[in-house]
């Protein structure tokens, strides 16, 4: 079994993301749900783990600004992410 931060570090935020995805499942297309899941699990949750955020109750405007700055600086295949990302 491959261990990642996700398999090793289960916290309230991980549960909250899972709950959100479960609630959203009936309201969105499978493709949209897959995109939400990918971004939340592969971008948002790892960033929160690095920032020491373990629950959505800990998220502040300052942290959302920091996450936005992180996304602006993030690169994919050597290019900056699109502003639409």
Give the up-direction half-sphere exposure of residue 38: CA atoms within 13 A in the CB hemisphere.
7
pLDDT at 10: 65
Task: Report the distance separating Cα 22 and Cα 58, nearest Å.
Answer: 22
Contact between 59 and 53 (Cβ < 8 Å): yes
Residue 24 CA from chain centroid, whole number: 15
Residues 6+ apart with CB under 8 A from 85: 71
pLDDT at 77: 78
Task: Report the distance separating Cα 72 and Cα 56, nearest Å.
Answer: 22
pLDDT at 53: 93
- What string of pLDDT tens digits covers the 85 residues of the chain? 344 544 445 689 999 999 999 999 989 999 999 999 999 998 999 999 999 999 999 999 999 999 999 988 887 777 777 777 6
pLDDT at 8: 45
Rg of the chain on CA atoms, in Å: 14
């Amino acid at each position: 079994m491959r261990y990642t931060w996700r398999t090793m570090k289960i916290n309230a935020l991980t549960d909250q993301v899972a709950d959100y995805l479960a609630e959203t499942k009936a309201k969105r297309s499978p493709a949209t749900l897959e995109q939400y899941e990918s971004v939340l699990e592969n971008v948002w949750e790892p960033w929160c783990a690095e920032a020491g955020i373990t629950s959505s109750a800990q998220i502040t405007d300052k942290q959302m600004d920091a996450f936005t700055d992180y996304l602006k600086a993030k690169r994919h295949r050597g290019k900056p992410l699109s502003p639409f990302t």
